Chains A and B, each alone.
Chain A
Amino acid sequence: DTAVSQTPKYLVTQMGNDKSIKCEQNLGHDTMYWYKQDSKKFLKIMFSYNNKELIINETVPNRFSPKSPDKAHLNLHINSLELGDSAVYFCASRNTQETQYFGPGTRLLVL
């Protein structure tokens, strides 16, 4: 009964490909996030959705497109993958202000 799950856990792909990462939370939370942890280990927010509506959209290339089919899901689609997209991507969800629950991460490697 994982609270926040992500698939796949590992993703290795070639430059130029299009890929998707899926996220699901079974906590009944209203808000979901995508974070990117780059090679320098910084965790940076990319997107936030509240009740399926986009709330935060940080300076992220428009090759990245989040999609929230319902409150429990926030998927991340990436077009035309580049080498610099290699990172760990974390999904999170939040109910109250103080606590975000994170998924296990998806390790993306672009070759």
Chain B
Amino acid sequence: DQQVKQNSPSLSVQEGRISILNCDYTNSMFDYFLWYKKYPAEGPTFLISISSIKDKNEDGRFTVFLNKSAKHLSLHIVPSQPGDSAVYFCAATQYSGAGSYQLTFGKGTKLSVIP
């Protein structure tokens, strides 16, 4: 049972335009949400996060929006650059006891930014 879903396996966007990556979740116990970026043959790299008590977090060209009632979050990249081409993973975390937090990942969306 997928608790974190990224329904678009791929997305192509023109350079300079906005990229919007979407993510849905089902577990209401999730209290923190993250986006990771992954290049081929590398590990995922943390990009941006948002706490469940907020609805927006911005960092430079990257903005994450959270709609708790809809259990939906999105990542906006403006303006998109060719170097943004990568796989983007949505992840959610919940406390799993003894000081540990468990990350649950979506399947990823491959973003291609076309020059």
Residues of A near any B CB (own CB < 8 A): 4, 30-31, 33, 40-45, 48, 50-51, 53, 55-56, 90, 92, 94, 97-105
Q: B interface vs A, CB < 8 Å?
A: 32, 34, 36, 41-46, 49, 51, 87, 89, 93, 96-105, 107-108
Known: A48-B96, A48-B100. 6 other contacts (CB 8 A): A45-B102, A50-B100, A55-B96, A104-B41, A104-B42, A105-B43
Q: Is the interface of B mostly helix, strand, loop or mixed?
A: strand
Residue numbers in B under 8 Å from A45 (CB-CB): 102-104
Q: List 13 A-B contacts (CB under 8 A).
A: A55-B99, A55-B100, A56-B102, A92-B43, A97-B32, A97-B101, A98-B34, A98-B51, A99-B34, A100-B46, A102-B43, A104-B41, A105-B43
| Smallest beta-carbon distance B37→chain A, Å | 11
